[in-house]
Amino acid sequence: MVEQHRFGNIISPITCHAWNKDRTQIAISPNNQEVHIYHRNGSDWKLLDVLNQHDLRVMGIDWAPNTNRIVTCAVDRNAYVWTQGEDGKWKPTLVLLRINRAATCVKWSPDENKFAVGSGARLISVCYFESENDWWVSKHIKKPIRSTITSIDWHPNNVLLVAGSTDFKVRVFSAYIKDIEKTPEATPWGTKMSLGQLMAEFPNSASGGGWVHSVSFSPDGNKICWVAHDSSINVADATKGNAMIKLKTEFLPFLSCTWISNHSIVAAGHSCMPLLYSLDTNGQLHFSAKLDTSQKKEAGGLSAMRKFQSLDKQARVEISDTNLDSIHQNAITCLCLYGGTKADAIKFSTSGLDGQLVIWNLLSLEKEIQGLKIF
Amino acid sequence: MAKNTSSKHAEALRTVLSNAPLGSKSQQAKDHALSVTLRVLLSIKASQIDEAVQSLNPELIDVLMKYVYRGFEIPSEGSSGHLLLWHEKAYNVGGVGCIIRVLSDSKRA
């Protein structure tokens, strides 16, 4: 079943959210400079801590599951790494990103020894902890980025990074830090992997345009998918000579996407419902299902009465029902895995401008939706 | 005879849409293509629009939508009403996605 949650009396949009390892706690930002940590108790959420260090709106949160550290970045151009003290309170450590525009997105690497921050300064800061100086330092990836980085994701090998940008391009970079890592092995994306090496570059569209909103590496790391503002969903495959598949959809643009297996993608955005896309055996991308099974609300037996009420109140015949026929009542901005990994996800969570958090169960959705085959 | 002209119209539509100079830097070429495309769109009768739209692939539906919106910018006698019919039929096939692409694509009609 689908679980719907709200946090206390917060009605503002949820900018983004991130879960801890065992999914008992969640970090959300209510569209301002704060990050709230909630603990789940059945269907109740208890506010544990408020991380109040940023001066301006928080743009990205990521929670490293194993080292239990939270990294946040915000429009104030700063990033903080938060560690939990003995008393359970979170303590910030400032990270010097050396950027002169807003930080827009942040992601821990799979090994959790470094993280990447995208920004409006047309660069990506790759940050790691330098134990000699007891200090987080950052290295920049600059070329050939020509606009704001909107989204980043790590390859499972802890080295490669995919970044989507408002210059209508998706790029795969190496984020290899030789001070803290041993030489990476070759991947289908290439062999030379010094920091900042451009491994691949994909234009979003032949007809130009379309900000890239979200990018994701496939669980095996050989494919990337991205969604952009031309309502498209795209896949590129390094094992097939960087072949691109583009599917222009008939929906409003997606804002977030993730792989849930090596051949399925969930995407969600302005159409307020998560959609499932699959790669078939021929490598073609196609639409599988709407995962929101809400039915159109019936006008009901009282329609005549409601009609006269509406005439009386508003001097109009039509009944103005402003509710959408979906669970989310506004655009979905963030999509996270909740159960399983990218290779075998069984649950995922979405949050959006309506201030709701929704947890979707793919196992039960597969049973519910006729003819749907996810696993 | 009537059947013949309608299929000629559909063919003309496919030809103008698939050769649309959307990426061209020459405004003159674009304006010229626009006037030709509008002539084709306005000469297809309301009853034949459905059939013509059905014969287009998704790529061309996007191009068609770009010309419909461009056509709204330079209305002539009765043209906007007719273009609204085109809009309705193209929307039925392409959904809101193809309207979004009119706005987001940098290669415009």
Q: Are residues A162 and A83 in the same domain?
A: yes
Any domain includes A12 = yes
Any domain includes B109 = no
Give the span between the Cα atoms of A56 and A101, in whole angstroms.
Answer: 12
Number of H helices, E strands in chain B: 5, 0
Q: Which pLDDT value is given to residue A159?
A: 97
Any domain includes A42 = yes
Q: Are residues A37 and A113 in the same domain?
A: yes
Query: CATH number, domain at B97?
Result: 1.25.40.190
Residues 6+ apart with CB under 8 A from A13: A30, A31, A330, A333, A352, A353, A354, A355
**What's the domain count of chain A?**
2
Q: Which pLDDT value is given to residue A191?
A: 94
Q: Are residues A307 and A181 in the same domain?
A: no
Residue numbers in B near A231 (CB within 8 A): 96-97, 100-101, 104
Q: What residues of A are in the B interface, CB distance below 8 Å? A: 168, 205, 207-211, 228-231, 248-253
Which run of H or E residues covers position B33? Answer: helix B27-43
Residue B69 domain boundaries:
2-104
Contact between A206 and B105 under an 8 Å Cβ cutoff? The reply is no
Residue B81 to chain A, least CA–CA distance (Å): 24
Give the span between the Cα atoms of A146 and A275, in whole angstroms.
Answer: 31
Disruptive mutation site among B65, B89, B100 for chain A (greatest number of A CBs within 10 Å): B100
Any domain includes B67 = yes
Residue numbers in B near A203 (CB within 8 A): none
Give the span between the Cα atoms of A208 and A169, in whole angstroms.
Answer: 10
Q: Which pLDDT value is given to residue A103?
A: 98
Query: CATH number, domain at A11?
Result: 2.130.10.10
Check CB contact of B28 with chain A, cutoff 8 Å. Answer: no
Nearest CA in chain A to B98: A250
- Chain mean position to CA B76: 16
**The pair of three-digit structure tokens given for residue A26, joined into one six-digit string:** 């969640």
Nearest CB to B106; choose among A208, A248, A249: A208
Nearest CA in chain A to B109: A207
Looking only at the bridges linking them, the beta strands covering A25-28 and A17-19 are antiparallel
**What's the domain count of chain B?**
1
Residue A330 domain boundaries:
2-295+325-368
Q: Are residues A286 and A352 in the same domain?
A: yes
Contact between A152 and A118 under an 8 Å Cβ cutoff? The reply is yes
Disruptive mutation site among A167, A204, A229, A230 for chain B (greatest number of B CBs within 10 Å): A230
ipTM of predicted complex: 0.90
DSSP state of A177: -
Instruction: Write the pLDDT tens digit of every residue in A276-298.
Output: 999 998 889 999 999 998 876 65
Regions in chain A scoring below 50 on pLDDT? none
